[in-house]
Amino acid sequence: MKAAVLREVRTPLQIEDVQIAKPGPHEVLIRTAAAGVCHSDLHFVEGSYPYRLPAVLGHESAGVVEQVGSEVRSVKPGDHVITCLSAFCGHCEYCLTGHMSLCTSPETRRGGEDEPRLSQGGAPVAQFVNLSSFAEQMLVHEHACVAIRKDIPLDRAALIGCGVITGVGAVIHTSHVRPGETVAVIGCGGVGLAAVNGAAIAGAGRIIAIDRVGSKLNLARHFGATDVVDASDGDPVAQVKEMTKGGVHHSFEAIGLKVTAEQAFAMLARGGVANIIGMIPVGVKIELHGADFLGEKRIQGSAMGSNRFPVDMPRLVDFYMTGKLKLDELISRRIKLEQVNEAFEEMKTGELARSVIVFDA
């Protein structure tokens, strides 16, 4: 099969032939239909986060099941599925207490003595975060995908697999936004727009979108923002505090920068909670004012929207089909696998929401 392979950091991905193994007892072979090009992939291309190389990148995807292992019961050939990088074992402490997105059990991956899922000429190629969806096929653990209804276009469904579940889940699961509460979202890329949309679905009373790009702020209004703040036009913290007479109940940082993480905490009202969704580069530290903790302000991370994806993703599909979840507007461009490096270059400009790789049927 054709796949986009990262061989060295800070170099373009190479389109190469890669061999894919047959499904093991608990594995599923999927024909990839669509894969979103996510900023998280760019972090690994640029070396901000280390990873084994060579590797096939990609982790926001949907497709059609081709084969299943002998013990698989959750999906069958012909099913349309969304994948999720937070594969779960189902019986560790995290899974049994409802925190499936935190599961790190090695059971969902092949062992070092097993045949690798991906290879070239007998040499292993690393599978990226349980998926590797910049490829014509994916071989995943059965708990890394979920069957969905077949009337949603798979290029839209793919977006739910990372950006949408991350943004919506952070609002609903991680921070538990309640009707009438105030929300601020810093960064209106794909994840930030999903957080705005999630806040609207949750019934937030006021949703403030913050960005430096006017077109993204306009898009945020369409996704449910009641107010927008241009971060290039004065201190966004001061603007939010003035608009809300003291700060917001919930803030969501969807960029991954030191300064914006600190701003997310600074714009909270007493008792508020800041959620860091963006991937802050390894080694970067953030600074907070200790006195703010006397007002019971909190800051926390959110991993993949604290999802329970086998339940959440079919529900998000239903939200899209009834018009509550915006997916069409997230797609800036549909491209071929060979254009993946162009998508990364465009991403760096900060103008686009999402490019989606669409594979031929």
CA dihedral for 9, 14, 17, 20, sign (positive or negative): positive
Exactly one of 95, 103, 162, 188 is catalytic; name it: 162
C-alpha to C-alpha distances, 17 to 44, 57, 133, 228, nearest whole angstrom: 21, 14, 14, 46
80 catalytically annotated: no
306 catalytically annotated: no
43 catalytically annotated: yes
- Angle 258-266/236-244 helices, nearest 10 degrees? 20
Exactly one of 40, 61, 302, 355 is catalytic; name it: 40
Between CA 339 and CA 97 the distance in angstroms is 42
Exactly one of 26, 39, 43, 80 is catalytic; name it: 43
302 catalytically annotated: no
61 catalytically annotated: no
Give the CB-side neighbour count of residue 133, counting CA atoms within 13 A: 35
Exactly one of 26, 39, 59, 80 is catalytic; name it: 59
Active site residues per annotation: 38, 40, 43, 59, 162
